[in-house]
Structure 1
Amino acid sequence: MPLTHDEFNDEVDAFVRDVVSAAICLSTQGWRLDVTMASADRLRSVVDMTVPLTGGPNCKSDDTLAVLTANYKLCVDSYGTHIAVEHSSFVLKAKVDRTPVIRWDYDRDANRKPRSHVQVTAHRGALSHILSRLDHPTPHSIESLHIPLGGERFRPCLEDVVEFLIRDCGFEGQKNWKQSVREGRARWRRIQTRAVVRDSPECAVTELESLGYTVTPPADGARSERTDRLTAW
């Protein structure tokens, strides 16, 4: 059954609680959260959060070095049964001159760029200033930062890099490269989908049953979640 207005906003409430839980990991005070709930005639919601970032032995407890902003645009999924993220953007900004440092972006309907991508917008000065204040062992070495991209299961595939080199950088692509990249990416994601199902079989069962499938559990009982895989960084 399609989501009703009230059900959509209930799911938004649960989503926001997860956002708040993540924000509290960074700061228990000083952060801002704005939520626009869905209207009766439009199942769309916007979540904006700003979190001040402090820390390091050379910092006062109230000395904000940077801010993390998070923006989500929420809609219904393609089945109309759950909320989905239409767009998300996480931006680390240096407070010293409001300079963007790193962006983690996702666009559900992107055409000319990867749907999920990282942009390093920092120049060495702004980022090094922050790392120095945090007593980082190599504040001038940007390559010492390891930017997460979805872990073992949701990491980019080689086809994603190939398309980046052709589309974004301007390298020459060979004949039929688009079709080859699309087919290779689909094969990769099907492999990863199967791996994710093995990690969390009960989630797969629940989702399949919601689509009308009948799932018969194995004779020796349901398999446990592989929490080590699901929680790995």
Structure 2
Amino acid sequence: MSAPTGFEDQVRNFALDVSTRVLMCLEGEPTAEQLVVEVSPRGGRFAFSYEQTLHAQAGDPAIGRVRLNFEITLDREKRYLAVHKSSFQLLDVRGKKPITRLEYVRDAPTVPCSHTHVHAESGLFTHFLARTGHPTPAEIQSIHIPTGGDRFRPCVEDFIEFLIRDCRVASREGWESKVAHGREEWRRRRTAAAVRDRPEVAVAELRRLGLTVLGRAAPGRPSARARY
């Protein structure tokens, strides 16, 4: 698949938007190459990454890092940007060891396409997995915990708010409005994508609400793929 005209510009704008929101919400310093956009050798796909430090209080030494990775392609209709892979990571201060990872793999064959990994130790969990015959019961991070599937997975703003509210990292003034705006835009796009997947469900609900819906979905529309 060859990339359409303007596809790379759309990806770069998306990458800049994501990185700007993170920097405006979280206290920290981006890495030297804070935003890198690369063309995949497979063509028609672009990858970008962003990383910055995290702090307990503004001006304090770094206590960790946040790293975002995206691989962007086109959706089934070849009209809209779609995430092929993404990873939101909380890392140690050197950026070497993950603490937790929120990941999405569009075409994951045997694991939840949207999932999280927790890098931790749990005697109870290890014992439980050993009893089930799990091949690596002591490696809790090998477990894929489902997080909403293809259409309803968490967004970058959810991860930012998790870092601020639950992990208590230092935030910048006004972060709540930035997160709320980004999350609303994300959910608007997810709703549109879900409607494209299941227009008959959308039509039925609109009619239940008393609205009149005319026309039919165009024939040959790509079918929604079931993903774990």
Instruction: State TM-score, norm by structure 2.
Output: 0.50
The structure with more radius of gyration: 1
From the two aligned structures, give the one with the greater strand fraction.
2
Higher relative contact order (CA 8 A, sep 6+): 2
